[in-house]
Structure 1
Amino acid sequence: MTAMALNDLATPQGSVASESRFEPAAPRRLPPLTSVILVDDAQQLDNIGHPRISLAIWRRQADPKIERVVAGLPTERLLNGRIALGSTETQAQFMARLQDLLQEHAVEPAGLGWWLADMAMLAELFNGLVKRTLGPRPITARVETLDRVSCPRFHVDRTGLRLLCTYQGPGTEWLPDEEIDRSALANRQPNDAIQHGAQPRALQPFWVGLFKGECFPGNAGRGQVHRSPAVPPDELRVLFCLDA
């Protein structure tokens, strides 16, 4: 397993106070987390099953072919598509379902093959991880183009696992466990209180973040804290999300 210092990922950003989608009921006194691992091999994402790991980051290289494809997505209408994928479906079936999803939202899939194939590969990868850590279950796929911040407040997810990959624009921001005030998080205080001076880290485009949520067995009260980034004016963020 390859790991590097958390500071290597530091990308200072301003904090924004807002409401969260989900907050834990109350903080608990728990053993410290190793919190985050950085890997260069998709197979090492399986380490997310370790009880002290809350975020596994696969540092992928950007693919110029996919970069060109997503740069051509329409900006006049935003995409917000969501589908359920079955645990027994194949990568080819995932790709066909994602193609249908784009068509349903008036995005012509012709010419988007490289991007669709990459999302289908991630869906198959995530499906396997879910089976090994949580057991077979449906997963939810979401494809979005965003021109503004969607979840500006630091929060945790009511999920078992969540995979996030930003193909264009700023990536998801997160905090290591030792820099989080979980009492402030539970009491719905502003971001400044939750991070108490810490600078958020951020995923880079094409990196894959595997986030452990509050519903992962044994993980209540220690879900990975993260938030959506601000999107610069006249830019578009392209996000792929998988939930289980």
Structure 2
Amino acid sequence: MQLTKSLTHTEADVMVQGSDASTLSHIQQRGVAAAVWQRELALDFSDWIRELNPENLPQFRSLVTVDALEKSIHAACDLSHTPPGKHRDMLAGDIAALGFIMSEIMESSLLHVRIEPVNTNACRKFHVDNMTARMLCTYRGRGTQIAQRGAEDTPITVSAGDAILLRGARWLGKEETTLQHRSPPIIGTGETRLLLAIDPGSDYKPEIVNH
């Protein structure tokens, strides 16, 4: 699927979607601004994470190597008293797998990884991140919204579980990225999302907190 089609390829404005992890590597293709790996979370996992007390959702923000990522997520789960068991193992394993994919595509063994509960209208304005690229995945709640610049009134909401790889403003090359994204507005709904963001370690700056 694509939102629009580049004619001159001076802009990157295409979103591609597919049911295979290899879809994410399409971010390297000409004119592609976003790649979405469409996935369905296991029903028992979705039930488990939805029913968790928000206080027990893991929080983590750090530079970490790919090899240490899974263990780091388990450590974060311990601090948040996330119940141990197969579903927590699934969460940590999936985050580690997405980190590995990100490291392969971006050729960066060091990643900046953030997983956090969100219950406000964080990053409510459509934007392009000030970095090379960012991977997002929502494990609980509504997914990220994506819109073409100038068409913010008709965004696409990505499903929970889908892995999205987005070009940022510092993507190398002459193409300008025109696909924007934001966190869905949820304030007042009582909803708590669980959002994962993975950036190349070389892009990391403490002040970057875009969602």
TM-score interval (norm. to shorter): 0.7 to 0.9
Q: TM-score, normalised by structure 1?
A: 0.71
Q: How does 1:124-143 map to 2 (within 5 A)?
A: 124-131=100-107, 136=108, 138-143=110-115
More strand by share: 2
Runs of 4+ in 1 over 3 A off after TM superposition: 76-80
- What is the CA distance between 1:129 and its match in structure 2? 1.2
Q: Secondary structure at the match of 1:159?
A: coil
* Cα distance between partner residues in 2 of 1:42 and 1:168: 20
Q: How does 1:1-244 map to 2 (within 5 A)?
A: 4=1, 6=3, 31-76=10-55, 80-86=59-65, 89-90=66-67, 93-104=68-79, 106-108=80-82, 110-111=84-85, 112-131=88-107, 136=108, 138-176=110-148, 180-181=149-150, 195=151, 198-218=153-173, 221-222=176-177, 224-231=179-186, 233-244=189-200
Identify the structure with bigger relative contact order (alpha carbons < 8 Å, sequence gap 6+): 1
Q: Secondary structure at the match of 1:108?
A: coil
- C-alpha contact 2:144 2:157 (8 A) present in aligned 1: yes
Q: How many residues align?
A: 194
RMSD across aligned C-alpha pairs, in angstroms? 2.4
- What is the CA distance between 1:145 and its match in structure 2? 1.0
- What is the CA distance between 1:5 and its match in structure 2? 5.4
* Cα distance between partner residues in 1 of 2:89 and 2:3: 35
The corresponding residue for 2:204 is: none
Q: TM-score, normalised by structure 2?
A: 0.81
Residue ranges of structure 2 left out of the alignment (5+ in a row)? 201-211
- What is the CA distance between 1:65 and its match in structure 2? 3.0
Letter in 2 for 1:239: L
Q: Secondary structure at the match of 1:225?
A: strand
- What is the CA distance between 1:223 and its match in structure 2? 5.5
Q: Percent identity among equivalent residues?
A: 23
The corresponding residue for 1:185 is: none
1:133-191 Cα offsets, whole Å, 9 max, x none, are xxx35211111111121100111101111111111111111113xxx24xxxxxxxxxx
Q: Secondary structure at the match of 2:54?
A: coil
Q: Using a 3 Å threshold, how does the CA distance of structure 1 residues 77 and 109 change in structure 2: closer, same or farther?
A: closer
